Amino acid sequence: MIRRLIAYAIDWYIMSFFMNVILVISYYFSQGKLVAGFVSIEFFEPSLQILLLMILSIFFILYTCVFPLIWNGQTLGKKIVKIKTYSFRKLSMLSLLIRNFIGMILIEGCFNPLSNYIRMVIMEFVGRNTVEHLVTISMIIGLLSLVCMVVTKKKRMLHDIISNTYVNMV
């Protein structure tokens, strides 16, 4: 479990860094100003927010789905701590999309930078109160997923269970 947490922290930092680089570059091209810090997706017009959200989602899918297909079930964080995602069938793009995008982003949704950007964009259209409820629900589901990892024999989180994947040492 500790290795998995460390891998996730590494991957979270990498994804956050590169997603912010995408937003900094986009801000420069849209506003003509170079920013040397965090750029919120809220700084952009709603139509541009949606486009940027698609770009950030593509980056997320590349990092969490395509790289593990190429790297035998590993992201950079998992490579460093020597763990991998696997399935008893061949690991597929579909199972990784279900695991990472549907499970981690849409269902659990509280421990990933992309989830935060999605909520910021949704807030433009439905308001803060609705998004606050979504955050509460995702926190509950995320904590339930952590409990699953602690209490299940194979240490599986909800996103592992719905995608029929496992995480183990290499």
- Which pLDDT tens digit goes with each residue over 39-53? 999 999 999 999 999
At residue 22, does pLDDT exceed 90?
A: yes
Q: Return the domain boundaries, the chain.
A: 2-169
- Rounded mean pLDDT, 55-76: 97
Q: Which of 9-13, 22-26, 38-42, 79-83 has the lowest mean pLDDT?
A: 38-42
What are the pLDDT digits (tens) for 101-129?
999 999 998 789 999 999 999 998 999 99
pLDDT for 110 equals 79
Tell me if 51 sits within 8 A of 88, measured CB to CB: no
Tell me if 65 sits within 8 A of 101, measured CB to CB: yes
Mean pLDDT of the chain: 94
pTM equals: 0.91
Provide the percentage of residues in the chain whose pLDDT is more than 70: 100
117 Cβ neighbours under 8 A, 6+ residues apart: 19, 41, 52, 53, 56
pLDDT for 60 equals 97
- b/e 45-75 (16+ beta carbons within 10 angstroms → b): eeeebeebbeebeebbbebbbebbeeeebbb
